[in-house]
Amino acid sequence: MLDLTPSLTLLSLLALLSLLLLYFLSHTTKRNPCPESHPILGNLLSFLRNRHRFHDWVTHLLSTTTTTIQVNGLLGLSHGVCTADPAVVDHLLRSNFANYVKGSRFSSVLHELLGLGIFNVDAHLWTAQRKIASHEFNTKSLKQFVSDTVQSHLSHRLIPVLSEACDDGLTVDLQEVFRRFAFDNVCNVAFGVDPGWLDTNRTKTASNSVNASFVQAFDYAVELTSDRFMSPVPAVWKIKRILNVGSERKFKEAIAVIDDFAMNIIRSKERECDQIKEDKDQDHSQDLLSRFMSSTSSKDSTSTALTWFFWLIAGHPQCERLIYGELAAAVKASPTGLPTDFSYDELKKLNYLHAALSESLRLFPPVPINSRLAVADDILPDGTYVGKGWFADYSAYAMARMEKLWGPDCREFKPERWLNIDGVFQPSDQFKFPVFHSGPRMCLGKDMAYLQMKSIAAAVMYEFEIEVVDGGGDARKMIEPPYTLSLLLKMRGGLPVRMKRRP
C-alpha cells in the first residue's frame, strides 16, 4: 500500500502556514481607525452630531488621515472602510471588481423599489441587464433623444413655464422645475410614457390624476429608501417593516401605487409587442422598457446636478458671462438660430459649458458617497485591511476637496481646470472623478446626462438672467453648502430664483 503520511503532513503544514499568513495580514495591516470612533458606540455619536453636515464631516476625517479610514457601527455590529483615494477606488470598482458587490446592504434597503433591476443586482443578473440597456445609449439613440425628447420638452414645456413665471414676476423653485422636467424626460426614455408633470396646460383628467399619484408615491419611496440607507441603527426601520407601522406602512402603500402604474405600462407594451408581431413592416419606437421586455418574451440625479450648477453660476458672474458668450456664438453659427434646437453635434462643441457642468459635478456630485460590500478579506492598495462582509465606501464629495488630487484651489469653482490651452474640454481620470462611478459599472447614461444638462443650461441661460434669491454659491456659501442628508445631494429648501429676460 502507498504511504501517504509524508504528503498529508506537508499539506497540513502548508495549510497551517496559510492560516498564519492570513492572521498576520489581518492583524498587521493598516486599520486606520476613525479619529472620532468610540469603542462601544462606534461612530454613532459623532455621526449624530454631524448629521447636518455629514459629507463635510467625512471630508474632514479623510483629509486628516491617509484618505482611508475604518468605520465601526454600534456595539461593533458593523464594520467598514471609507476612502477618498483614487487607487483604492480603482481597486474597488475595477481591479478587484469581483470582490466588491452591491450585496445585501443594497438589496435589503432597495428591494421593494428596485427589485432585481440593474441598479440593485450583481453577477449574471447585472451582466444580462447591462447588455440590454447598453443598446439604448449608443450615438444614434442619443441623437434621437436630443431631437425627439429634449428639444420638444424644452420648447413646449420648460421655456414656456419659466417665461410665464418671468412675465408674472414670480419666484420659482428651479430644483422642483428641473426635477419635473427630468422626470418627464426619463419616463419617455425608460418607459415610452409621458407623465406631463411639467406642463402649463395640464387638465385634471383621470390620466393626469394617475400620473400625479405615481409621482408622489415614487418620490416618497425614494426618500424613505434614503432614510433607510442613512439610518445609524438599521434595526429600527426593519422592525417597523415587520410590524407594518409608521413610515414603513406608508412605504408599502407607495410601492403598491408604483407597481400598479408599472403593470399598466407593461400591459400596454405587451399589446404593442403583439401588434409588432402582426405588423412587421411598421416602425415602432424602442424605449428602454421595450428592450427589457423583448429580451425576456435616475431623473433625480440630473435635476440635482443642474440645481447646484445654477447655484454656483449665480455666485460666479464671470463664468456666467463666458457661458453666455459661448452660447451666443453657437446660436449665430446654428442653422436654426435657437438654443432649444441645438443638435447633438452642436451641443458637443460647447466646451466651456461642458467644463462648467463638470466642475459643478466635481464639487457637488449627485451621488456624493457610494458603497460596496466585500465578498472576502482583502488588503487595499494603501495597505488597509478589509474584512469579509465589511462595507467599502468611497466619497466623491470628499475627493473633490482633497488638495493632493486637485491642488490648493480644490474647493474653488474653476471650470478652466477642465480646459486645455486651446479651450477644449479635457476629461479627468475616472477614478479621480468617480461621479458617474467607474470600471465595469460606470453609468451607461453619462453621455445622455451631459446632453440633457447642456441642452437645459443652454436654453435657460440664453433666454434668461437667473437671480438666485440668496445670492447663489459664492466662495463664502460654498464653505457650508445647503444640502440635505439623502442618497442624492439635494439642496435644502430648493433653489428659489427670479428671472429676467435677456435684452
Q: Are 268 and 287 in contact (CB under 8 A)?
A: no
Q: For residue 443, say whether it is annotated as part of any ligand binding site.
A: yes
Residue 278 Cα distances to 273, 282, 327, angstroms: 9, 9, 47
**Dihedral angle at the C-alpha atoms of 289, 249, 74, 30, nearest 10 degrees?**
0
Query: In 10 A of CB 465, how many CB atoms?
Result: 16
Q: Residue 68 phi/psi, 5° resolution?
A: -140, 125
Nearest to 413 by CA among 364, 452, 456: 364
- Determine the longest span between alpha carbons in the chain, in angstroms: 100
Hey, which residues does 100 pair with through a beta bridge?
374
Q: Are 425 and 432 in contact (CB under 8 A)?
A: no
Q: Residue 143 phi/psi, 5° resolution?
A: -65, -40
Coarse DSSP helix, strand, coil percentages of the chain, rounded to the nearest 5 percent: 60, 10, 30
- For 374-435, the DSSP string reads ESS-EE-TTSBEE-TT-EEEEEHHHHTT-HHHH-TTTTS--GGGGB-TTS-B-PPPTTTSGG
Determine the straight-line distance between the first and last CA of the chain, rounded to whole angstroms: 100
Print the SS3 string covering 341-381.
HCCHHHHHCCHHHHHHHHHHHHHCCCCCEEEEEECCCEECC
- For 463-496, the DSSP string reads HEEEEETT----TTGGGS--B-SSSS-PBTT--E
Annotated binding site for heme: 443
Annotated binding site: 443
